[in-house]
Amino acid sequence: MSVTFMEPQLHSPVLLKETLEALNLSKGSRIIDGTVGTGGHTYAILEAITPGGQILGIDTDPEALSIAKKRLARFEEAITLVHGNFSTLKGIAELNDFVPVQGILLDLGMSSLQLSSSRGFSFQGASPLDMRFNPEQDISAGDLVNTATENELFRIIHEYGEEPLAKKIVKSIIDHRPITDTGRLVQAIEKVYGNFRGHLHPATKTFQALRIATNQELENLHYFLPQAVNILDKGGRLVVISYHSLEDKIVKTFLSRESRDCVCPPVVIECVCHHSATLKSVNKKVIRPKPEEVFINHRSRSARLRIAEKL
């Protein structure tokens, strides 16, 4: 299968060739892109499935959808774009008469658009402490930082950021309240680390944790996976690209469970769960970007792709 890249390249789609192969695309396929973003993967998928194929593209970021609409204009008749969250996948698909489908893609990465925006995703410079993918959402990262209890902040930064100095960082955050912009939050974190050394900025893990908590990213992934299986056609492919261990663990655990007929604990002698396998894993080992892709697109270095097929 040939891969055509669209110019200008607003955002380099990660593992593009591997994703297209994983989806097992053909002309006439119906595909759902649960995180369409600015349309990088979507454009290449449309080239592979049209004429005759269709895509339902979902994204929670209205700014990204606006760009995707322009970028994908030549495929206007083959694509439906929806402002929504992939956590309500089944409802969105049914509302748009898009069931069953032959493939579902979920790319959980941040886009260049979001990182360069003034919504506080990046700690380079100072911007409002927002971090909402969907600006219409009620709770922002600033709300969490300034109103969450000490125990709740510790849970978020320790669990979602896997930050070893979470306790000290939380104390510093509370001492620096109110924190209204990313610059002041970085100051609070750097005060804990002092004269740090290394390639990873000390604010990285805390910013990741707050973004995950603000957007309920892990909860949404838990909601999404069983819905995806439900609306896939027999032989349809589910492809998920994750970027950190917490996401990948959720995907790996789900695919492992749904690939087995019995999910009873080992101590149970006779199966009582009545569970039947719904999926089979297509790749035994997780797929990672090749060195040449990481060289071109440094942010792809942590990407992990998993594939499953509906039984």
- Which CATH number fits the domain that encloses residue 88? 3.40.50.150
**191 and 303 both lie in a single domain:** no
Q: Which of 171, 193, 215 is the last residue of a domain?
A: 215
Rounded to an integer, the average pLDDT of 164-193 is: 96
Per-residue pLDDT, 122: 82
Q: Which of 181, 215, 249 is the last residue of a domain?
A: 215
Q: Rounded CA gap, 95 and 245, in Å?
A: 33
Q: Which is more confident, 3 or 122? A: 122
Please, which pLDDT band fits residue 270 given cuts at 50, 70 and 90?
confident
Strand partners, 181: 128
Question: Strand pairing of 79-83 and 279-281?
Answer: unpaired
Please, which pLDDT band fits residue 116 given cuts at 50, 70 and 90?
low
Per-residue pLDDT, 112: 67
**Count of domains observed in the chain:** 2
Length of the chain: 311
The answer as to whether 119 is a domain residue is no
Per-residue pLDDT, 6: 38
Report whether 12 contacts 300 (CB < 8 A): yes
* Parent domain of 185: 132-215
Residue type, 71: R
The answer as to whether 127 is a domain residue is no
Per-residue pLDDT, 267: 76
Q: Rounded CA gap, 22 and 240, in Å?
A: 10
Rg (CA), the chain: 20
SS (H, E, C) the chain: CCCCCCCCCCCCCCCHHHHHHHHCCCCCCEEEECCCCCCHHHHHHHHHHCCCCEEEEEECCHHHHHHHHHHCHHHHHHEEEEECCHHHHHHHHHHCCCCCEEEEEEECCCCHHHHCCCCCCCCCCCCECCCCCCCCCCCCHHHHHHHCCHHHHHHHHHHHHCCCCHHHHHHHHHHHCCCCEHHHHHHHHHHHHCCCCCCCCCCHHHHHHHHHHHHCHHHHHHHHHHHHHHHEEEEEEEEEEECCHHHHHHHHHHHHHHCCCCCCCCCCCCCCCCCCCCEEECCCCCECCCHHHHHHCHHHHHCEEEEEEEC
Structure tokens at 158: 């320790």
Question: Strand pairing of 79-83 and 101-107?
Answer: unpaired
**138 and 200 both lie in a single domain:** yes
The answer as to whether 8 is a domain residue is no
Q: Is pLDDT of 7 > 60?
A: no
Q: Which of 185, 215, 245 is the last residue of a domain?
A: 215
The answer as to whether 230 is a domain residue is yes
Please, which pLDDT band fits residue 115 given cuts at 50, 70 and 90?
low
Q: Is pLDDT of 4 > 70?
A: no
Please, which pLDDT band fits residue 196 given cuts at 50, 70 and 90?
confident
Residues 6+ apart with CB under 8 A from 66: none
The answer as to whether 202 is a domain residue is yes
**170 and 236 both lie in a single domain:** no
Question: Strand pairing of 232-242 and 101-107?
Answer: parallel
Report whether 212 contacts 218 (CB < 8 A): yes
Model pLDDT for residues 202-261, shown as the tens digit of each residue? 999 999 999 999 999 999 999 999 999 999 999 999 999 999 999 999 999 999 999 998
Please, which pLDDT band fits residue 9 given cuts at 50, 70 and 90?
very low
Out of 111-115, 177-181, 263-267, which region has the weakest mean confidence (pLDDT)?
111-115
CATH number of the domain bearing residue 163: 1.10.150.170
The answer as to whether 121 is a domain residue is no
Rounded to an integer, the average pLDDT of 168-179 is: 97
Q: Is pLDDT of 274 > 50?
A: yes
pTM (whole model) above 0.75: yes
Rounded to an integer, the average pLDDT of 193-208 is: 87
Model pLDDT for residues 121-161, shown as the tens digit of each residue? 887 778 899 999 999 999 999 999 999 999 999 999 999 99
Model pLDDT for residues 44-93, shown as the tens digit of each residue? 999 999 999 999 999 999 999 999 999 999 999 999 999 999 999 999 99
Residues 6+ apart with CB under 8 A from 273: 262, 263, 264
The answer as to whether 3 is a domain residue is no
**252 and 297 both lie in a single domain:** yes
**211 and 221 both lie in a single domain:** no
Report whether 148 contacts 169 (CB < 8 A): no
Model pLDDT for residues 10-37, shown as the tens digit of each residue? 558 999 999 999 999 999 999 999 999 9
Q: Rounded CA gap, 272 and 95, in Å?
A: 36
Structure tokens at 15: 């593992």
Per-residue pLDDT, 144: 97
Q: Is pLDDT of 5 > 60?
A: no
